[in-house]
Amino acid sequence: MCCPGCQAVATAIVAGGLDSYYRYRTEPAQQADVADILRAEYLLYDRNDLQQSFIRDLPDGNKEVRLLIEGITCSACIWLLEHHLSSIAGVKHVTVNLSQHTATITYHPESTKVSDLMLAVLSVGYKAHPWRQDKQEALLEKENKQFIRRLAVAGIGTMQVMMYAIALYTGADEHYRTLIRWVSALLATPVVFYSAQPFFQAAWRDLRNKRPGMDVPVSIAIGGAYIASLWATLQGNGEIYFDSVSMFTFFLLSGRYLEMRARYKTSHSSRSLQSLLPESCLKINAEGETERTVPADLQPGDHIRVMPGDSIPADGRVISGTSPVNESALTGEHMPVSRTIGDHVTAGTLNTENALDIEVTRTGQNTRLAAISRLLEQAQSDKPAIARIADRVAGWFVGAVLLTAVGVYYYWFQHEPEHALWIVLSVLVATCPCALSLATPTALTTVTGYLQSKGFLISKGHVLEGLPQITHVIFDKTGTLTKGELSIQQVQVLDTSRTEAELLALAAGLEAHSEHPIASAFPESSIAFTDVRNVTGQGLEGQLDGQVWRIGKPDFAVPEQTPALPDSNHTWLLLSCDNMSLAWFALDDTLRPEATAVVQQLIDRGLRVELLSGDNQGVADRIGQQAGITVCTGQATPDDKLERVRALQSEGARVMMVGDGVNDIPVLAAANISVAMNTASDLARTHADALLLSGDLRQLPEGFEKAVQTRRNIRQNMGWALGYNLLVLPLAASGWLAPWMAAIGMSASSLIVVGNALRLAKVRSSEGEHQHG
């Protein structure tokens, strides 16, 4: 603690059971010594029971914390926070989202604590809060109201100062001029010290951290003009620029406010996902009665009842009832899906007709809804190469603007000193690189949100940039081109001492340990195998009564004497015990109805499409022929798939891999862009660059089309931003632009960029435009 008093207070709070205050409070503490108060509060968040809502454990032993950051305004803030937090021992990865005002930090709990991270944020001039949906909405609403208040003060001040400025410009009598000057100074003061305060705060933070951002030239322009005007007023002679200062502040705030609202709109997708959760739910107690509780209090194993019209509060498995569930908010598929006993349901989906009793399996940050929200936010935060280049260019541009301003001031001071100040103000204002910094992230965020609403979730920043460069698309078969709803068509008993039902139960007992879609074809079994091992791309091996049992490919099940397949028209699995063949199981799957059309659309775009399957060559050829794919490879192991992708890449190809199984993870990681299906294993979804939430392959051509449109949009935005700055600089430097005109131009330039990016959410895919168009 910062002092014994704070320690005593904190101890009393915890001992009195009042620490829940820190979990549910909605307003920050009143300022006494803000830094000390925040330090004391941050230390409490090292407690495990206070971390459940905003920290989750990762499989590799690290933790991921999600913080709300108060005070970030631009890309310079993001750079500063990411670089400062990344320098802390134990921090593995940091992403800061400007639209969401959030920081997602992966760290090792033995090397650093969450309080260290929050204090690190505080040390560079920002405030950190544990992430909560209501807290985030409150912070964004606070930012909105604060912007409106500052805008109102600037607007009223500008109107009044301009009224007096007109009197000065039209030749007011001398004995009124001094009064007008002092009244103008009085009216401009709240505009500068209140409305323009965010610019000065951001500029000071940038300078203190030795990274000048776009607010530095803006602050120099406002502060310089105000001080010079105040000095002229005190002296009783010289030019005053209170009207320009006020008008510039008003126009700049107007542009920033509209940008903020645009960012709010583009980031609405991930926030709206969290809002799908109900505020309360019905928990079934030990006596079978229901009691009202909040989703945050649910634990895995709890039983809940979801009434018709209610949202499901947690991931779970239906234990009673049958009802259609609307999953459109997550998958983009608007037709409700029937869910009955044994089916899995997802938090945030809507029960439409009948009551369902559900056993909770995942809650809070571990639900699929939370995972999708994190992936969407990651996509909005993750910067592709073009965005990083734009940030660097904007940074260089600020330095160039400051040097240019010095040169312009020196020139005019030598020739017409009475004009030097307002001309250099125009240069500083007109060339502020706001539009340049907005050109790329606004377009990327808009398209990411649009595609997510259609069921195509992008989780890595390079996807939209890389899609137009793809030359080959490789599909897995089971669960990707096919529905993945396999069924056992035939059982051939080889060991006549056992019945078909007994062999089926044994096979099902082994398959119960697999996440592959094949496992869904087998019924539930009470036979419990031990030491079960999943051999990627081959099958499963387990122990029962001291014997080694295997199911999978023939050369895996019986490696010493591999039997021939009964035929090549089905997917065949062989069950064996101690290298003795016991039974064949013939499985079959059906092609997705949209697969053929999607493959043709991809071919029409100039892409080469292949099928790589672990199934036998006959099945691969049959499915490939149905889908319209001519290059089909069967009996492909994970190593074979990986080798094929690397071979294509060595020839200069850029490959997209679409798959869904655990055995697809190596090739998903190696592909230039990887897409996992909605039925994919957790590991496959983690390694994939994008996820088809709806399982609808038609979103792939849509993704390619939107990527092309995004690339074109970014080029338009960058071209406009650079062109505007290059055009306006000589006009401002030569004295053709007044400061207020420069402010309008700069704000309009930023709004044009934002408006152009927002068009991406409305543009319909144009048919026939190929990826190289």
Nearest to 567 by CA among 619, 525, 498, 514: 619
Name the one residue in this structure whose structure tokens are 């971390």.
Answer: 51
Distance of alpha carbon 772 from its chain centroid, rounded? Answer: 27
Nearest to 214 by CA among 77, 429, 398, 388: 398
The residues near 101 (Cβ < 8 Å, ≥ 6 apart) are 68, 69, 70, 72, 136, 139, 140, 143
Determine the Cα–Cα distance for residues 623 and 602; give it in Å rounded to an integer.
Answer: 17
Q: Which two tokens stand for residue 348?
A: 């945030």
β partners of residue 543:
530, 548
Query: How many alpha carbons fall within 13 Å on the CB side of residue 348?
Result: 24
Q: Which H, E and C letters describe 507-558, residue by residue?
A: HHHHHCCCCCHHHHHCCCCCCCCEEEEEECCCEEEEEECCEEEEEECHHHHC
Nearest to 221 by CA among 187, 197, 244: 244
Angle between helices 114-123 and 75-86 (to 10 degrees): 130
Q: Which two tokens stand for residue 339?
A: 């869910």
Q: Is 476 a catalytic residue?
A: yes
DSSP result, 666-731: HHHHHSSEEEEETT--HHHHHH-SEEETT--TTHHHHHHHHHHHHHHHHHHHHHHHHHHHHHHHHH
Other Cβ atoms within 10 Å of 174 Cβ, number: 7
Catalytic residue among 476, 621, 689, 696: 476
Torsion of CA 202, 207, 212, 215, to 10 degrees: 30
Q: What are the C-alpha distances in Å from 558 to residues 523, 551, 573, 579?
A: 24, 9, 11, 5
Q: Is the alpha carbon torsion for 271, 276, 278, 281 positive or negative?
A: negative
β partners of residue 116:
none
Distance of alpha carbon 307 from its chain centroid, rounded? Answer: 32
Determine the Cα–Cα distance for residues 586 and 588; give it in Å rounded to an integer.
Answer: 7
Determine the Cα–Cα distance for residues 738 and 758; give it in Å rounded to an integer.
Answer: 30
φ/ψ (deg, to 5) at 336: -60, 150
Helix, strand or coil, per DSSP, at residue 765: coil
Nearest to 240 by CA among 422, 406, 410, 420: 422
Torsion of CA 758, 764, 768, 773, to 10 degrees: 0
Rg (CA), the chain: 32
User: Which ranges of 267-325 does DSSP label H, i.e. alpha helix?
Assistant: 268-274
Other Cβ atoms within 10 Å of 460 Cβ, number: 17
Determine the Cα–Cα distance for residues 709 and 765; give it in Å rounded to an integer.
Answer: 9
The residues near 193 (Cβ < 8 Å, ≥ 6 apart) are none
Do residues 111 and 92 touch, judged by C-beta distance below 8 A? Answer: no
Helix, strand or coil, per DSSP, at residue 90: coil
Do residues 747 and 435 touch, judged by C-beta distance below 8 A? Answer: no
Q: List, by residue number, the catalytic residues.
A: 476
